[in-house]
């Protein structure tokens, strides 16, 4: 019985998976499973970043907007840099044809820097992370519109880049491997190294951590930077998968990320949570989304269900705590 | 509910804590007022059209919409919670009302405000009974209400042209003053009265300042918190008809994005996220500053997207300034 309780998340996921098999014949096809893994990996990578942030009792609402902002700014920068060398990177104003390496580099760099900016605002200016990341959420989204001129850039002609989101290794999607690697590294760091111990210490009791001599400001800045980095990585996977960079992409993804993190057992109170659970939760949400799509449930109903899930996931955890 | 039913008013002898709080808040409001005057003076100097009566009325009209929402959100923030779902609440309540246009203006308004109350109630119950942190709860209800707004409206817009009363809510004037401005002013005035001179208002501040102590003092904090969410929901639902009445259209996403403006105004007005700090006067002045600023951006030809960037940056900047100010005033 104890084994069931301990792995209730995993068991729930398996049940959901079985339900999916019966829900639609197309569920158990290789094509569908691969796509399922791809979408789970994108959301899951986002969720890993948010998990670490929530472990130190902060929140990062900007990840969804960053998924659009980072890659759009990166495209612009890559195009400009290439123009310096006389290479035309964007054809006809809409098709990117050159510069995969630069694109990836810039996207990740921008994600890291914006995350760092979040961290600086939270630690140095002491602004509540809710407000900071809410402000960045809106500002980054709007900047994405402005920089892109309101239209999408199509990446269909960049074969190397498309492999990231569409390719397979040994039958499993590339993005799934990236997700597992990022998750694995994070889980390893959290459990077996001093990085993890510091993070749980800051999240558990920040004042105590400060008095223990931990440089909480530096750690926080780093963690927000990691979150930004994960958002950038997710942006690359997403845009590669859809072969386009659109200023309107990933709207609302921050909510899905938080749903996954919360479903995986990490709470806003900090100091509690395992990345392993986040990974499973990501797959669960991915399966759920997949089933809802296959069954033909309209996006509005999906929204309502996702919202209810997050409430249902959070409620039992907090009810157990006799808070005054 | 003791404080609400009889609206028990009292002349409360100020103790030292309240005195110091009042001093700080007076200082904040004075600063806000000077920013407002400064802004309008500079703007009037730089642009000839700014201080024209039509423009000022325009500013007031537009900002009253977000301002009414900000009034509701201020209550929630005063008790230390947050409500991100106000935009979606506005959409859903307006759309619900839109389904029953054929019943006439009375039922439509009842349904609209009733829905707002219900949606606020759900938020309150989730936060208080379900013990869900308000950030997550209202983030979740934001999605749920948005989805429901689409489901209820079937994705189609409705046109209330057959109800002149409804259109009047958006367009009407009373002695030349547009209706939304009057509502905003009235709500602000009423709230200032409630917060400063009624028992309910006092308990709101106490709950926000120290919820545990407040609960042990018999403050029935749960009810207070639920009430604030009710107020927030109703305020949000009020704005729906004002927008729909003006452009003769009720649609499912009309509230999207308003929560940013509302929270920005509340925060600019001095409301603290941890509760206990903030005044309705501050929110009111902040709304005018915000409205003036947006108007200046508009007149300068700044695009909508850049305005959003400004809103985001402003939010961060203002909170930063407030915190720095607090640090100076605090005696640690």
Domain at A58, CATH number: 1.10.3470
pLDDT in tens, B60-90: 888 999 999 999 999 999 999 999 999 999 9
Determine the residue among B95, B222, B308 to mutate to test chain A binding: the one whose Cβ has the most chain A Cβ atoms within 10 Å: B308
Question: What is residue B19's predicted lDDT score, i.e. its pLDDT?
Answer: 64
Given a contact cutoff of 8 angstroms between Cβ atoms, the answer to whether B111 and B97 are in contact is yes
Distance from C-alpha of A98 to C-alpha of A89, rounded to nearest angstrom: 5
Burial of B33 (0-12, 13-18, 19+ CB in 10 A): middle
Among partner residues B140, B273, B305, which is closest to A307 by beta-carbon distance? B140
Determine, yes or no, domain membership for A19.
no
Number of domains in chain A: 1
The domain B2-327 is placed in CATH, from the list 3.90.1200, 3.40.1350, 1.10.3470, 2.60.40, at: 1.10.3470
DSSP code of B266? H
Question: Chain B closest CA to A174's CA: distance in Å?
Answer: 31
CB contact under 8 A, A300 and B150: yes
Residues from B contacting A (CB-CB < 8 Å) are: 82, 126, 130-133, 135-137, 139-144, 146-148, 150-151, 155, 211-212, 215, 260, 263, 267, 273, 303, 305-309, 311-316, 319-320, 323-324, 327
Chain B residue with Cα closest to A62:
B312
Question: Chain A closest CA to B10's CA: distance in Å?
Answer: 29
Distance from C-alpha of A318 to C-alpha of A296, rounded to nearest angstrom: 34
Q: How many CB atoms lie within 10 A of CB B235?
A: 31
Among partner residues B131, B136, B320, which is closest to A310 by beta-carbon distance? B136
Backbone phi, psi, residue A245, to 5°: -120, 110
Range(s) of the domain holding residue A211: 25-318
Chain A residue with Cα closest to B83:
A130
Chain B residue with Cα closest to A258:
B136
Q: Where are the domains of chain B?
A: 2-327
Determine, yes or no, domain membership for A5.
no
Distance from C-alpha of B267 to C-alpha of B264, rounded to nearest angstrom: 5
Determine, yes or no, domain membership for A296.
yes
Paired with A141 in beta bridges are none
Local confidence pLDDT in tens for the 324 residues of chain A: 666 666 778 888 888 888 888 888 888 888 888 889 999 999 999 999 999 999 998 999 999 999 999 999 999 888 888 888 877 777 777 787 777 888 899 999 999 999 999 999 999 888 888 889 988 998 999 999 888 888 888 888 788 888 888 888 887 888 999 999 999 999 998 888 888 888 888 888 888 888 888 888 999 999 999 999 999 999 999 999 998 888 988 888 988 899 899 888 887 777 777 888 888 899 999 998 888 888 888 888 888 998 898 888 887 766 666 544
ipTM of the complex: 0.82
Residues of chain A in contact with residue B146, where contact means CB-CB under 8 angstroms, are 303
Size of interface A-B (CB pairs under 8 A): 134
CB contact under 8 A, A142 and B133: no
Helix (H, G, I), strand (E, B) or coil at A99: coil
Helix (H, G, I), strand (E, B) or coil at A311: helix
Burial of A98 (0-12, 13-18, 19+ CB in 10 A): middle
Determine, yes or no, domain membership for A11.
no
Distance from C-alpha of B203 to C-alpha of B197, rounded to nearest angstrom: 11
Distance from C-alpha of B183 to C-alpha of B276, rounded to nearest angstrom: 25
Distance from C-alpha of B57 to C-alpha of B80, rounded to nearest angstrom: 33
Q: Which of B95-104, B234-243, B246-255 has the highest mean pLDDT?
A: B234-243
Q: How many CB atoms lie within 10 A of CB A92?
A: 7
Residues of chain A in contact with residue B207, where contact means CB-CB under 8 angstroms, are none
């Amino acid at each position: 019985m104890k084994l069931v309780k301990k792995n209730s998340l995993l068991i729930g996921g398996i049940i959901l998976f079985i339900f999916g098999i019966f829900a639609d014949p197309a569920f158990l096809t290789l094509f569908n499973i691969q796509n399922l893994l791809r979408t789970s990996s994108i959301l899951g990578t986002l969720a890993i970043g948010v998990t670490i942030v929530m472990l130190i009792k902060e929140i990062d609402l900007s990840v969804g907007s960053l998924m659009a902002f980072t890659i759009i700014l990166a495209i612009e920068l890559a195009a400009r840099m290439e123009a310096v060398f006389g290479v035309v990177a964007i054809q006809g104003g809409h098709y990117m044809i050159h510069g995969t390496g630069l694109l990836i580099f810039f996207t990740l760099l921008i994600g890291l820097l914006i995350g760092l900016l979040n961290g600086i605002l939270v630690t140095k200016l002491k602004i509540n992370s809710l407000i900071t990341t809410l402000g960045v959420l809106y500002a980054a989204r709007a900047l994405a519109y402005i920089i892109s001129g309101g239209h999408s850039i199509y990446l269909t002609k960049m074969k190397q880049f498309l492999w990231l989101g569409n390719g397979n290794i040994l039958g499993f999607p590339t993005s799934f491997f990236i997700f597992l690697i990022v998750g694995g590294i994070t889980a390893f760091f959290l459990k077996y190294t001093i990085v993890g111990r510091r993070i749980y210490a800051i999240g558990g009791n920040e004042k105590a951590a400060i008095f223990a001599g931990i440089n909480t400001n530096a750690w926080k800045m780093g963690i927000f930077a990691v979150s930004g980095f994960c958002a950038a990585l997710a942006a690359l996977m997403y845009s590669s998968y859809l072969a386009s960079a659109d200023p309107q992409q990933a709207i609302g993804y921050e909510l899905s990320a938080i749903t996954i993190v919360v479903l995986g057992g990490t709470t806003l109170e900090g100091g509690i949570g395992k990345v392993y659970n986040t990974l499973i939760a990501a797959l669960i949400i991915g399966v759920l989304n997949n089933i809802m799509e296959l069954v033909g449930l309209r996006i509005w109903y999906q929204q309502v269900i996702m919202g209810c899930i997050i409430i249902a996931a959070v409620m039992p955890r907090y009810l157990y705590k006799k808070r005054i | 509910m003791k404080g609400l039913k009889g609206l028990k008013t009292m002349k409360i002898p100020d103790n030292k804590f309240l005195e110091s709080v009042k001093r700080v808040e007076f200082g904040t409001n004075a600063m806000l007022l000077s920013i407002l005057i400064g802004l309008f003076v500079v703007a009037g100097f730089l642009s000839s059209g700014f201080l024209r009566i039509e423009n000022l009325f325009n500013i007031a009209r537009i900002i009253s919409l977000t301002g009414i929402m900000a009034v509701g959100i201020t209550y929630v923030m005063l008790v230390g919670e947050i409500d991100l779902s106000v935009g979606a609440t506005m959409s859903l309540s307006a759309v619900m009302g839109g389904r029953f246009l054929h019943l006439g203006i009375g039922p439509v308004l009842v349904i609209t405000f009733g829905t707002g109350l219900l949606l606020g109630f759900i938020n309150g119950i989730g936060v208080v009974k379900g013990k869900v942190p308000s950030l997550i709860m209202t983030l979740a209800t934001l999605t749920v209400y948005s989805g429901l707004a689409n489901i209820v409206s079937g994705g189609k817009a409705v046109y209330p042209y057959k109800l002149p009363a409804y259109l009047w809510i958006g367009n009407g004037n009373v002695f030349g003053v547009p209706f939304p401005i009057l509502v905003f002013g009235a709500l602000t005035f009423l709230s200032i009265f409630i917060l400063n001179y009624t028992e309910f208002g006092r308990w709101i501040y106490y709950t926000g300042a120290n919820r545990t102590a407040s609960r042990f003092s018999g403050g029935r904090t749960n009810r207070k918190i639920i009430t604030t969410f009710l107020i927030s929901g109703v305020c949000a639902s009020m704005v729906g008809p004002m927008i729909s009445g003006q452009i003769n259209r009720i649609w499912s996403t009309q509230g999207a994005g308003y929560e940013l403006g509302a929270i920005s105004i509340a925060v600019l007005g001095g409301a603290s996220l941890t509760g206990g700090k903030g005044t309705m006067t501050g929110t009111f002045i902040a709304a005018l500053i915000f409205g003036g600023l947006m108007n200046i951006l508009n007149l300068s030809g700044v695009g909508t997207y850049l305005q959003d960037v400004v809103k985001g940056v402003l939010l961060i900047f203002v909170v930063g300034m407030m915190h720095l100010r607090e640090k100076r005033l605090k005696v640690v």
